[in-house]
Amino acid sequence: MNPELGAGARVAVEMSVGSGRALLEQLKVAIEEAEQSGVAE
């Protein structure tokens, strides 16, 4: 996030509950992998 760009630089996303859950699962996997590799440190 870059606050200097202001609110106009943000994007809104609409999705179904199922798509939201799938996104959450993929984010969990990506975070887990980042933590295991040391990138998230």
Distance from first CA to last CA of the chain, Å, rounded?
A: 18
Q: Is the pTM of this model over 0.75?
A: no
- At residue 35, the pLDDT reads 92
- The ranges assigned to domains in the chain are 11-41
Q: CA 18, CA 32: separation in Å to the nearest integer?
A: 21
- At residue 6, the pLDDT reads 87
- At residue 25, the pLDDT reads 98
Is 19 exposed, middle or buried, given 0-12, 13-18 or 19+ CB atoms closer than 10 A?
exposed
C-alpha distance from residue 12 to each of 4, 7, 9, 15 (Å): 18, 11, 10, 10
C-alpha distance from residue 11 to each of 17, 29, 31 (Å): 19, 23, 22
Per-residue confidence in pLDDT tens, the chain, 41 aa: 788 888 888 888 999 999 999 999 999 999 999 999 988 76
